Homo-oligomer: A and B are copies of this chain.
Amino acid sequence: MSHKLRIGIIGAGRIGKVHAKTFSTLVPAATVEAVADTNPTAARELAEQYGIPVVYDDHKKLLANAAIDAVVICTPTEFHADMIVDAANAGKHVFCEKPLAFSLDAIDNALAAVKRSGVTFLMGFNRRHDVGHTRIRRDVIAGRIGNPELCHIISRDPSPPTAEYIRTSGGIYVDMMIHDFDLSRYLLNDEPEEVFATGACLIEPEFAKYNDVDTAMVTIRFRNGAICSIDNSRRAIYGYDQRVEVMGSKGRLSTFNMLEDNTQFAGPDGFQEPRALNFFMERYIPAFQTEGIHFADCLLHGATPNCTGEDGRAAVVMAKAADLSAKTGRLVKISEIG
C-alpha cells in the first residue's frame, strides 16, 4: 500500500461530512482522494470544503479508481450491504457506518463477500473509540470491578430528527439504540441472552405514523448474569446526554457528560455549569479521530479491527430482539432472532 492510506468517501450527508473532515484533517496517515454521492452538488461541496480532488455521482465509479485503497460507507442504511459487496469485489478495504444493514440475510451476504475477498473490514461504532468507554472496558476486563452485575447506558439526542428521516430510519432500536447495544457488549465484554423493550411516542406524535417511538427503555440480561438498562430519547433540552455506568462486585465505573467548557457561574440562584456538548459531531470528535487513526493502523500497520462485521451483526440482532419485545410485551431470547 502507498505510504498514506487513500480514502474514498461514499455518501456526502451528515456522517459523510464527519468522516471527510476526520480523514482529511485529523488522521495524518490518510488522505481523502474522492467522494461519491448520487447528489453531485453535495459531493462537490464536500470536496471543495476539504480539498478532495475527485468527485463521483456513483459509488461504482469511485470503486473503479485504482488510486483508492479503502472506502468509508456513509450512505443510508438500506444501501450498506450492497455497497460492501461492491467494495469487497473491487478489492477495496471497507469502513462501514452503523447500522450494518436492516436484514440479517443482507448482512450475512455482505460479510461473506468481505471474507471471500480478503479485504479488511471495520464496523463504524464510534463510541468504542471514546477514551472513557475504552478505559471502562479495559478496567472491566482487568477485573477492577469484579463481576459486572448492573449496567446503565443513557443516550439522548439534543433534538429529534425530521419525520422524513424517521420514515426510512428503521426505527429507534436499529437506528439509534444500535450504538448502545454495541456499547453494552463492549463495556461488559459479554454476550446478551434476553432482551425486553418498551417505548413511547412522547415528543413527536408524527413518528407514530411510521410505527416508531421517540423514547425507549430496554433491559438486557447477559450470559454472565449482568443486567443492563438502556434508555434512549430523541430529545434532551440540556444537550447530548451520554452516560454509562457498570457496577460489579468490587466497584462501579461510570462516565460524566462532557460540557461546553470547564467554567462555573455562582450567582443568586446557585451554581451553574454550561450545557452538555450539543451532539455527536461535538461530543465524539476525538472518538472519530481515534477511529480513523485505528482504521489507518489496521491497513498500514496490521492492527486488528476492534469492531468487526460480527459485532455489527450482533447489534442488529439485539435491535431486532428489542423490536419484537416491544411489539409482544415479553422478554425475547437472542436465540429467537438469529
Chain A residues with a Cβ under 8 A of chain B: 25, 28, 131-132, 135-136, 139, 144-145, 147, 149-150, 152, 154, 156, 194, 196, 198-200, 202-203, 215-217, 219, 221, 225-227, 229, 231, 233, 235-238, 241, 247, 249-276, 329-331
**19 pairs, A vs B, C-beta closer than 8 Å:** A149-B233, A194-B198, A200-B225, A215-B227, A227-B231, A233-B247, A235-B249, A238-B252, A238-B267, A238-B268, A255-B262, A256-B263, A256-B264, A257-B262, A259-B271, A269-B275, A270-B272, A270-B275, A271-B272
Interface of A is mostly: strand
Taking CB atoms, residues of chain B closer than 8 Å to A276 are 266
Asked whether A251 and B266 contact (CB < 8 A) given A217-B229, A227-B217, the answer is yes
With most chain B CB atoms within 10 A of its CB, the pick from A215, A225, A238, A274 is A238
* Inter-subunit contact A219/B217 (CB<8 Å): yes
Taking CB atoms, residues of chain B closer than 8 Å to A274 are 269-271
Taking CB atoms, residues of chain B closer than 8 Å to A257 are 262
Docked Cα-Cα span, A258 to B286, in Å, equals 15
* Inter-subunit contact A156/B247 (CB<8 Å): yes
Taking CB atoms, residues of chain B closer than 8 Å to A149 are 200, 202-203, 215, 233
Closest 5 CB pairs of A and B: A238-B266, A251-B267, A329-B331, A252-B266, A330-B330
Docked Cα-Cα span, A94 to B259, in Å, equals 35
User: Smallest Cβ distance from A24 to chain B, in angstroms?
Assistant: 9
* Inter-subunit contact B229/A236 (CB<8 Å): no
* Inter-subunit contact A238/B271 (CB<8 Å): yes
Q: Which of B150, B252, B265 contacts A144 (CB 8 A)?
A: B265
Docked Cα-Cα span, A238 to B252, in Å, equals 8
Other 14 A-B pairs with CB < 8 A, given A131-B261, A132-B262, A268-B275: A131-B262, A135-B261, A139-B265, A147-B202, A149-B202, A202-B225, A203-B249, A215-B227, A236-B247, A238-B268, A250-B267, A251-B265, A253-B264, A330-B331
Question: Across the two chains, which residue of chain B brings its CB closest to A24?
Answer: B28
Taking CB atoms, residues of chain B closer than 8 Å to A253 are 263-266
* Inter-subunit contact B221/A198 (CB<8 Å): yes
* Inter-subunit contact A269/B267 (CB<8 Å): no
Taking CB atoms, residues of chain B closer than 8 Å to A196 are 196, 198, 219, 329, 331
User: Smallest Cβ distance from A308 to chain B, in angstroms?
Assistant: 25
Taking CB atoms, residues of chain B closer than 8 Å to A221 are 198, 200
